[in-house]
Amino acid sequence: MREQYVTVAGEGTHEIEINRSRFICTLAPVATEEEARAFVARVRARYADATHNCWAYVVGADAGVQKANDDGEPGGTAGVPMLQMLLRREVRHTAAVVTRYFGGVKLGAGGLIRAYGGAVGEALDAVGTVTRRRMRLVTVTVDHQRAGRIENDLRTGGRDVRGVRYGAEVVIEVGLPESEVDSFRAWLADATAGAARLEPGGETYGTG
């Protein structure tokens, strides 16, 4: 696994106007290609009356899946420059749709390439990005008496709490940087007088 990757901070929209044409870029973080396709379909439906809904997405921390579509614009003038902008900015797990409402003035191939790529670049700046780092998932099992305080300490301390399950005991799943697992184990033992159990799990990505 790569140590980290950059993705868009959340779903968002940014609009620019070039020679009376409106270019509306909608961005979203996506975990899988299925999510990316569903996002594209949702945006296309939202702007069904638009002249074009061109799209591109990059899925995988290693950019293993890269797709783009010009949606009727001249070949290579829309989807590809959108994809190139995502890759140039080293953005992963992100889908982009640029919706165009034609304003009556043709931009030419060069103008279209600049417009579509630029719309994605400006939208990335407007919506913002986050770095997601490689994390180790750990499971903390603790009694009900201590669980509330431990969960509160984790959240107020900025830990990546992935889930909490209540049963005979309380199970809290946390994402940790690999380098902090040992220090976290020591903190947990001290905070619970050795009453909590910690079990390392698999790897994932998080913002911690």
Residue 149's domain is classified under what CATH number? Answer: 3.30.70.240
Side-chain half-sphere of 203: how many Cα atoms within 13 Å? 11
Last residue of a domain, one of 96, 127, 158: 127
Residues 23 and 100 in one domain: yes
pLDDT at 177: 86
Question: Which helix (H) or strand (E) element contains residue 98?
Answer: strand 94-101
Domain count, the chain: 2
Residues 145 and 64 in one domain: no
Cβ atoms < 10 Å from Cβ of 154: 20
Residues 93 and 188 in one domain: no
User: pTM, whole model, 2 decimals?
Assistant: 0.77
Q: Tens of pLDDT along 60-70?
A: 999 999 999 99
The three-state DSSP-derived secondary structure of 53-82 is EEEEEEECCCCCEEEEECCCCCCCCCHHHH
Look up the CATH number of the domain holding residue 46.
Answer: 3.30.230.30
Last residue of a domain, one of 127, 142, 170: 127
| Position 1 pLDDT exceeds 80 | no
Q: Which domain holds residue 158?
A: 132-206
Amino acid, single-letter form, for residue 103: G
pLDDT at 22: 98
Query: Tokens 């903390």 sit at which residue?
Result: 140
pLDDT at 208: 56
Q: Tens of pLDDT along 108-134?
A: 999 999 999 999 999 999 999 999 888
pLDDT at 179: 85
Mean pLDDT of 77-102: 97
